[in-house]
C-alpha cells in the first residue's frame, strides 16, 4: 500500500524508524508499505517510487529542512495539490492536536477522505469535534477512518471496543486514561508527598507539562472519554456535557485514609448509558482492591467496558512514548491491510 504522511515530528520520525526495523516482519506478512510523500508545514519530500526510509531517517537526524533533501525535497506545497499528483492509498495524519478547532488536521482529513483515500490518525482534535461528519464522508467514499491511536496510544481502547466487543452493546465505560495524574497519585502514595511536591517531580521528569492543567484538571481524561463514548456508544455528546473534576484538591491525608481501607484513588472517566439517559463524568474515585483498574499504577492506563452479551472486558497497557504511538499507527494500517472495515 502507498502512504502519504503529514506531520513529521516525534511520532512521524519514530514511524519511519519502526518501518525500517519491521521491514523483514512486514515482508513475512506479505505487507508492502511505500511512503510516497512526507509533508511538513513548510517543506516536504515526494518520491513516486517510494522514499528511501533509511536514507531520509539519517538525513533527518541532522537536518529538519526537508526541502534540502536531495531526492524529492520541496518547499511548501498544498496538500490538495500533492494528493492530486500522487497516488496514495492511505494518508497518515500526524500533525499536532488542537482540541478547539481540530485544525489543521481536520481539513487534511476531509481533503483526503473526499478524494477516496483512507485516513489513519493519532489526532484527537478532529475526532473529538467531527467524528460523525468524518465517518459519514468516509462511508460515502467507501474508505476507512482508522482512529485506534487517538485514545490511549498503544492501549487498544478503540479497537478493543469496536472489534473485541463486536456484536455486543457497551453499556458502561470506565477509563483510567491519563498517565500523568496516575503518576502523581502514585508518587504521593509511595513517597508520602503532598500533591504539589509530586507534581514538581512529574514536571522535572518531563511527565507533566509546565502548565499541567490539561492533565490535572481532568480535561485530557474527559477528551479521551468523550471520543470513546461517541465512537463506541454511537452518541454525539460534547465536552460541555461532561462534569469534570481534577486531582489538585487531593491531600496526602486522603490517600493515606484510602490506603487504610485497602483502597486507592484514581482519576476515572466514566460513562454509563441506559436506554433513557447517558451520564458522563470525570472524577477521583476510591477503587476497591477488587476493581480491575486498582493495580493500574504509574504511567499505565486501562479501560473497563461492560457489555450486554460479552460481559466485562478490561484492557490494561500503557507503553508510552513515540515508538508505541508509531506502533499503534502501524497496527491500524495492518488492520486496514487485512481488509477490516471498522466503520459499520
Q: Are 238 and 182 in contact (CB under 8 A)?
A: no
Dihedral over alpha carbons 332, 238, 95, 27 (to 10 degrees): 0
- Alpha carbon distance 189, 186 (integer Å): 5
- Alpha carbon distance 185, 251 (integer Å): 10
Q: Which residues are annotated as a binding site for NADP(+)?
A: 7-12
Instruction: State the nearest-atom distance from the C-beta of 153 to its own copies, in Å.
Output: 9
Instruction: State the nearest-atom distance from the C-beta of 249 to its own copies, in Å.
Output: 27
How many residues lie near its own copies (CB under 8 A)? 54
The residues in 173-232 that bind its own copies, with binding defined as CB under 8 A, are: none
User: Is 339 an interacting residue with respect to its own copies (CB under 8 A)?
Assistant: yes
Q: For its own copies, which is the closer residue by CB, 249 or 344?
A: 344
- Alpha carbon distance 249, 244 (integer Å): 13
What is the CA angle 7-8-14, rounded to 5?
Answer: 125
Q: Cell digits for 273?
A: 448509558
- Find the part of the chain contacting its own copies (CB under 8 A) among 69-77, 117-125, 130-138, 162-170: 162-170
- Alpha carbon distance 263, 281 (integer Å): 20
- Find the part of the chain contacting its own copies (CB under 8 A) among 64-72, 150-158, 213-221, 266-274: 150-158
- Pick the binder of its own copies from 49, 167, 253, 260 (CB under 8 A): 167
Q: What are phi and psi of 273, to 5 degrees?
A: -120, 125
Q: Which residues are annotated as a binding site for NADPH?
A: 124
In 3D, which of 241, 244, 249 has the Cα closest to residue 269?
A: 244
Instruction: State the nearest-atom distance from the C-beta of 328 to its own copies, in Å.
Output: 7
**Which residues, other chains included, contact 64 with Cβ-Cβ below 8 Å and sequence gap of 6+?**
none
Q: Which residues are annotated as a binding site?
A: 7-12, 124, 209
- Find the part of the chain contacting its own copies (CB under 8 A) among 41-49, 107-115, 224-232, 321-329: 321-329
Q: Are 188 and 252 in contact (CB under 8 A)?
A: yes
Task: Give the single-character DSSP code of 311.
Answer: -
Instruction: State the nearest-atom distance from the C-beta of 105 to its own copies, in Å.
Output: 23
User: Is 25 an interacting residue with respect to its own copies (CB under 8 A)?
Assistant: yes
Instruction: State the nearest-atom distance from the C-beta of 189 to its own copies, in Å.
Output: 12
Number of H helices, E strands in the chain: 13, 13
User: Is 338 an interacting residue with respect to its own copies (CB under 8 A)?
Assistant: yes
User: Is 165 an interacting residue with respect to its own copies (CB under 8 A)?
Assistant: yes
**Which residues, other chains included, contact 90 with Cβ-Cβ below 8 Å and sequence gap of 6+?**
1, 2, 3, 4, 117, 118, 119, 120, 333, 336
User: Is 319 an interacting residue with respect to its own copies (CB under 8 A)?
Assistant: yes
Q: For its own copies, which is the closer residue by CB, 206 or 339?
A: 339
User: Is 57 an interacting residue with respect to its own copies (CB under 8 A)?
Assistant: no
Instruction: State the nearest-atom distance from the C-beta of 92 to its own copies, in Å.
Output: 14
Element (H, E) at 127: helix 124-141
Q: Are 130 and 43 in contact (CB under 8 A)?
A: no
User: Is 152 an interacting residue with respect to its own copies (CB under 8 A)?
Assistant: no
- Mark whether 34 is an active-site residue: no
User: Is 309 an interacting residue with respect to its own copies (CB under 8 A)?
Assistant: yes
Q: For its own copies, which is the closer residue by CB, 79 or 147?
A: 147
Helical pair 105-114 and 124-141, crossing angle rounded to 10 deg: 10
Catalytic residue among 40, 224, 266, 270: 224
What are the residue numbers of the active site?
A: 224
Point out which residues bind its own copies (CB under 8 A): 18, 21-22, 25, 29-30, 154-156, 159-160, 163-169, 289-292, 294-297, 302, 309-319, 323-324, 326-328, 330-331, 333-335, 338-342, 344
Amino acid at each position: 500500500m502507498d502512504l502519504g504522511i503529514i506531520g513529521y515530528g516525534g511520532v512521524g520520525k519514530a514511524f519511519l524508524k519502526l518501518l525500517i526495523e519491521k521491514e523483514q516482519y512486514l515482508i513475512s506478512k506479505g505487507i508492502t508499505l511505500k511512503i510516497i510523500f512526507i509533508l511538513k508545514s513548510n517543506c516536504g519530500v515526494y518520491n513516486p517510487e517510494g522514499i528511501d526510509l533509511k536514507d531520509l531517517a539519517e538525513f533527518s537526524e541532522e537536518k529538519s529542512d526537508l526541502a534540502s533533501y536531495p531526492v524529492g525535497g520541496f518547499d511548501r506545497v498544498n496538500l490538495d495539490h500533492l494528493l492530486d499528483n500522487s497516488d496514495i492509498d492511505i494518508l497518515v495524519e500526524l500533525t499536532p492536536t488542537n482540541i478547539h478547532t481540530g485544525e489543521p488536521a481536520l481539513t487534511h482529513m476531509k481533503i483526503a477522505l473526499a478524494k477516496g483515500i483512507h485516513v489513519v490518525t493519532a489526532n484527537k482534535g478532529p475526532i473529538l469535534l467531527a467524528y460523525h461528519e468524518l465517518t459519514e464522508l468516509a462511508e460515502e467514499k467507501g474508505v476507512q477512518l482508522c482512529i485506534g491511536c487517538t485514545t490511549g496510544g498503544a492501549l487498544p481502547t478503540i479497537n478493543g471496543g469496536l472489534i473485541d466487543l463486536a456484536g455486543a452493546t457497551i453499556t458502561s465505560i470506565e477509563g483510567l486514561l491519563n498517565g500523568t495524574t496516575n503518576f502523581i497519585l502514585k508518587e504521593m502514595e509511595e513517597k508520602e508527598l503532598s500533591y504539589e511536591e509530586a507534581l514538581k517531580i512529574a514536571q522535572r521528569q518531563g511527565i507533566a507539562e509546565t502548565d499541567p492543567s490539561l492533565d490535572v484538571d481532568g480535561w485530557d481524561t474527559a477528551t479521551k472519554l468523550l471520543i470513546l463514548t461517541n465512537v463506541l456508544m454511537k452518541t454525539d455528546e460534547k465536552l460541555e456535557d461532561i462534569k469534570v473534576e481534577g486531582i489538585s484538591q487531593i491531600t496526602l491525608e486522603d490517600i493515606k485514609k484510602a490506603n487504610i481501607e485497602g483502597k486507592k484513588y484514581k482519576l476515572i472517566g466514566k460513562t454509563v448509558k441506559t436506554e433513557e439517559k447517558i451520564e458522563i463524568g470525570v472524577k477521583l474515585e476510591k477503587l476497591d482492591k477488587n476493581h480491575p483498574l486498582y493495580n493500574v499504577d504509574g504511567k499505565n492506563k486501562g479501560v473497563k467496558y461492560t457489555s450486554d452479551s460479552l460481559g466485562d472486558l478490561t484492557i490494561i497497557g500503557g507503553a508510552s512514548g513515540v515508538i508505541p504511538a508509531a506502533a499503534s499507527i502501524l497496527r491500524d494500517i495492518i488492520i486496514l491491510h487485512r481488509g477490516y472495515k471498522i466503520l459499520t
